[in-house]
Chain A
Amino acid sequence: MSEKWLYWFEELNAGQNDLVGKKCANLGEMTRLGMRIPPGFAVSVDGYERFMAETGAGEEIRGYVLEHMADLKSIKNQVKASETIRGIVESKEMPAGMREELYHYYEELRKRAGMEEIAVAVRSSGAVSMPGQMETYLNVRGREAVVRKVIEVWGSAFTTRAISFRLEKGMPVEKAPIGVAVLKMVEAKAAGVVLTVLPTTGDTSKVVVEGNWGLGESVVSGEINPDQFIVDKESGCVECTVNQKTKMIVYHDSGTKTCEVPEENQCKACVDTEELNEIVRIAKEVESYFQAPQDMEWVLDFTACCPENLYWVQARTAKYSKVEEKEAEYLAELMTRLF
């Protein structure tokens, strides 16, 4: 087992999925690309394994699974197993050595950010992608809370689906290829996503930006009607749809809450032209670097000015309908009908 289990993002790159999970490896790659991402560090898969070994949680889980193996075929029992295993993980304290190291990185992060007190997001970073399956904790403050949330993210690897998947494949149930990202929360004025392809048509000549006031989660979850800007990559021509945005997500204590958007802001675009241009400019650059349409998440910090206020928290290859293929088949069909 490698001694080192904590890494600054700038120490990482896209090739290190297995070490720190996709999200962290990706944040590392983004840092290397020169994109502004919130400062932070990664907890590697080795960290998780060390925790499971040193606390005995791994052993306990193995025992539990062996005992209940016969019952684990039914969904009901899998749900129970998931709860139990999560309970086992979360009941453990962080081993003292690991705790000290985490404290140290958190303190260093505070210094790097130049703040007296720092709020961070603790996000899961699976090496195998299971979107929406693993937890993310926002607005986490204080070193003890950070330690707690890291353990909870580890626990969240034991979803019902993950358990049944590992059982089916004959993989050890207590092993989970999970990393954790700990990064500074951005004081979000507005946030959202940008795609360098129109996901519905597969039109790669356009960039679409969607955003809302507050944190990006409201846009990603699809609960509100965000502002939408469709920008032509070549001409820069913008098709702009400003929607009435009644709700937004903001920090609350050590988590988040949904609240009303102040009336004067509801029908106002959540990004200005300069900010929009900067978002599109960077998205296009990232796309051309990876040679593939990108799906990216951005945040505007209200404590800074454009372009220093633009932070990136995610960049991945966009998933969009395989219109190209379908279109070709459609054209072939039309040609057939000519005869």
Chain B
Amino acid sequence: MKVYDEVPAFEFDPERDFKQSPYWFLDSAHSVPAWTPMFGWFWVNLCRHGMQYGAEKLSLPTIKGWDWRFHRGGGFWCVLQTKSEEEKKKRESRFRKAILPFIQDYDGLWDSYVKDMTGRYDKLKALDLDQASNIELLENFEDTINTCRRMWEIHMIMTYGTYIAYVLFESMCRELIGIDESSPLFQALVTNSDNKVFQVNRELWEFSKRAREEGLAEIFLQSKPSEIRERLEESARGKEFMKDFMTLMNRYGWRMKRMSEITMPSWLEDPTPPLISVRQFLKKEEKFDFGEQQAKLREQRLEAESCVLSKVPGEQRSWFKRLMVLAEKSGTFSEEHDLYLDLYMHALVRRCVLGLGRRFAAKGALAEPGDVFFLIPDEVRKAAINPDQFDLRHIVDRRKAKWQEWQDSPNPPVLLKKDFEMDEAVKLLIQSMDPLALKAVVGTMPQVRPEFKADLYGTCGSPGVAEGVARVIRNEEDLYLVQEGEILVAATTSPNWTPVFSMVKGVIVEQGAILCHAAVIGREYAIPVLMNVAGGCSKIRTGRRVKVDANLGVAFIMDS
């Protein structure tokens, strides 16, 4: 019998699980490097719940969400589909009504969800964890789980609704004007910088201007990233600067270096990542202007809109325009939702879990606070009210050892049933018409076209051509190494990577689809992004010259 250890009920069991689905894809955007058991428990249980909840609430005709498994610190998933035509018909009639609010008042819907969530966050934050009683701490933990569950419900209702509009728009563009999502015209439409993430970056840019004006720029440029704060606080002016900077963090600092893990400090605990962003802006030319860039993007979008509309037959124009406006929100949403949902919530999960960790360590249940990440909620509950009565260290020791092993030998990108091939799995996924799988995770596979004699092939996430020195970044901690004018090479990117997009000339990522972070931000900054470049990080080495031609879907490693 299989012994369930890290995530009970959801640990991968080849014997049973391959009967259910012949493929299980690794969620490499979120679960590489491997998760700790605590975060894995949160993600697999609650994200899985949210997807099935969202699919059911919208009554998606053929999709019932995803199923998830936990395997060696990785999240693996497959799509759940309806099983009969009759069931599909029933779901269709409910779907027609359930999707209407997205069409009628998208912004109102999103705003009300944001309000709901921020209200819940405020309640969680209200408890002073170190002054709280054991019972209050436990209650805060249970509330955190429930809030996180609600976050995923909202997350998935919104994501499904948004992506469906996007998929329809793309299909209508193909039908009515003969362009698809790889067309620059199309990409200009879904490039929208009027979002919160952009706004945060803008505020960081304002701080870089202030640093320059107040003569603090040298501290940023000369210090090690981790020492910037300390060095600033040596002077009165720097102290004042940090004080205002931390005020900004109180508002926007509820996020961590890694979006989908809770082991790293939030910006509020350690503002090094945003300070690095300020430093990146300081490395840019003085004349760089955020407002100008935003205005330019807006103008391009308006131009693209009228160009596209002029190609649509008059009698179709009205509904098409409405659909276009809706689809344009997808770009904003894919950026903004992280800020209000995943990033914020997971920072709060960290806050609460770490609060428990401190208490457990003080009472002897754990050796140190951070060990709590190697427990799962049932074990927390076991010791929460009387942490002085239990010793959980043996669990931590066992799990830590396993976790280290997972770090050293990463998961494969997909688990396949015997004799089942990757391309069959991708085909199944495309047939499922699951908008999430299609637009945010898998995308289309690159076409290898020998006539280009390219070294690497990929798909276009943002159009353009650029040449420069490669900078391979495998770990977010190394982002500060990126220099102006380089070509960024990475497995994948997340909102924390956004500031370097303003510095680099082009981006190559190993995964991605048209609505993934790298593509959305690449279009915002008007730099080429080549996605789904298999083995990009190992084939390209930092320092080599590379040429990216996203239009053709190729990259060349130039002779040294």
Contact = CB atoms under 8 A, between A and B. Distances in A.
A290 interface: no
Contacts of A327: 318-319, 322
Interface in B81-120: 88, 92, 95-97, 99-100, 103-104
B96 A336 contact: yes
Given A328-B103, A328-B104, A336 B95 contact: yes
**Max chain B C-beta neighbours (<10 A), residue from A323, A329, A338, A339:** A339
Contacts of B433: 338-339
Nearest to A330: B319
A327 B318 CA distance: 8
A334 B326 CA distance: 14
Q: Which 8 A/B pairs are nearest by Cβ-Cβ distance?
A: A339-B61, A328-B103, A327-B319, A339-B62, A332-B96, A201-B318, A332-B99, A331-B103
Interface in B151-194: 164-165, 167-168, 171-172
Contacts of B63: 339
A338 B164 CA distance: 8
A336 B92 contact: yes
B491 interface: no
Contact of A334 (B62, B104, B168, B315): B168
Interface string B45-64: 00000000000000011110
A203 B318 contact: yes
Nearest to B62: A339
B552 interface: no
B414 interface: no
Contact of B168 (A202, A203, A338): A338
A329 B88 contact: no
Chain B interface residue number, banded? 20 to 34
Contacts of A304: none
A208 to B, nearest CB: 14
A338 B167 contact: yes
A331 B165 CA distance: 9
Contacts of A203: 318
B346 to A, nearest CB: 31
Nearest to A334: B168
A102 B222 CA distance: 93
Nearest to A200: B315
Interface in B29-79: 60-63
B323 interface: yes
Interface in A314-339: 323, 327-336, 338-339
A329 B326 CA distance: 14
12 contacts: A203-B318, A327-B319, A327-B322, A331-B103, A331-B168, A331-B322, A332-B95, A334-B168, A335-B164, A338-B168, A338-B433, A339-B62
B88 A339 contact: yes
B168 A328 contact: no
A335 B319 contact: no
B318 A329 contact: no
B101 to A, nearest CB: 9
A336 B103 contact: no
Contacts of B60: 339
Nearest to A198: B318
Contacts of B100: 328-329, 332
